[in-house]
């Protein structure tokens, strides 16, 4: 029997929630978990790289610990993709280019740009995954929401950036521009992924037989994401 031949890590179809027995939905979920997993993994690598810019060992450790928190979220996503019958590393491949380009175009020039990127980039990803969670079956939703849960590191970033701007006000102008660039690059790459990955896009905008967001609702979602980004920039003491 095919189910048992597939090995112990793959769930038999009758063990899956009903929603996941639909191949198109399952494909979309594998895409989603894969883009989150590769997002966490690439964020880990970049944060460790950016930690080299830290002014002190204590700051470097704090950023490394933010990175470690991202890394720890990868394995549960990989396990779930395998359970759904996907190959986790093949599933991540279509997202390498968009995420690698995001990071290549937002390489921080100094420690504070790195901190702003860590805080803003991570928060943006979290907001987006929470938005998309509304369109998921409960099991997948729980996994996605738990994999984007906030660590206690945001406060570190906010404190350090606010202090730095207080003692060097022109830094605020530069970091405000930097925050806009991160947001713009994130939107560019997200659009690219949406254009390439039909199953994932169908999850949001609906398919032939599945309700989804209409264009107006999609617009409102983007507005919410942008508003939250502005609130975060304000929290840092920056204009969005």
Q: Which residues bind a copy of itself (CB under 8 A)?
A: 41, 44-45, 48, 51-52, 56-58, 60-61, 64-65, 68, 71-72, 74-75, 78, 89, 92-93
Please report how close the Cβ of residue 78 comes to a copy of itself at its closest, in angstroms: 8
Whichever of 70 and 127 has its CB closer to a copy of itself, that residue is 70
Closer Cβ to a copy of itself, 64 or 240, answer by number: 64
The count of other CB atoms within 10 Å of the CB of residue 46 is 24
Identity of the residue, 57 or 149, whose beta carbon is nearer to a copy of itself in the bound complex: 57
Distance separating alpha carbons of residues 197 and 28, to the nearest angstrom: 9
- Give the three-state DSSP class for 215: helix
In total, the chain counts a number of residues equal to 240
CA dist list (Å): 179 to 7, 28, 46, 103, 236: 46, 30, 17, 14, 10
DSSP state of 41: H
Q: Shortest Cβ distance from residue 54 to a copy of itself (Å)?
A: 11
What's the min distance (Å) between Cβ of 42 and a copy of itself? Answer: 10
Minimum distance from residue 45 beta carbon to a copy of itself (Å): 7
**Shorter beta-carbon distance to a copy of itself: residue 152 or 167:** 152
Helix (H) or strand (E) holding 27: helix 23-51
């Amino acid at each position: 029997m095919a189910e048992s031949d597939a090995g112990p890590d793959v769930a038999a179809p009758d063990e899956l929630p009903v929603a996941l027995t639909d191949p198109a939905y399952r494909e979309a979920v594998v895409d989603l978990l894969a883009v989150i997993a590769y997002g966490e993994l690439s964020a880990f690598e970049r944060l460790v790289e950016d930690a080299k810019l830290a002014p002190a060992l204590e700051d470097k450790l704090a950023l490394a610990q933010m990175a470690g928190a991202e890394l720890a979220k990868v394995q549960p996503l990989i396990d779930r993709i395998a359970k759904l019958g996907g190959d986790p590393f093949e599933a991540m491949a279509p997202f390498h280019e968009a995420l690698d380009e995001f990071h290549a175009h937002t390489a921080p020039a100094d420690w504070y740009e790195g901190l702003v990127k860590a805080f803003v980039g991570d928060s943006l990803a979290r907001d987006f995954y929470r938005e998309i969670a509304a369109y998921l079956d409960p099991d997948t939703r729980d996994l996605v929401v738990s994999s984007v849960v906030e660590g206690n590191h945001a406060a570190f970033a906010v404190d350090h950036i606010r202090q730095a701007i207080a003692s060097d006000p022109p830094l605020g102008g530069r970091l405000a521009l930097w925050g806009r660039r991160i947001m713009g690059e994130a939107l560019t790459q997200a659009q690219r992924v949406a254009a390439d990955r039909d199953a994932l896009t169908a999850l949001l905008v609906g398919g032939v037989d599945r309700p989804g967001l209409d264009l107006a609702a999609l617009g409102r979602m983007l507005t919410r994401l942008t508003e939250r980004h502005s609130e975060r920039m304000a929290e840092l003491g920056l204009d969005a």
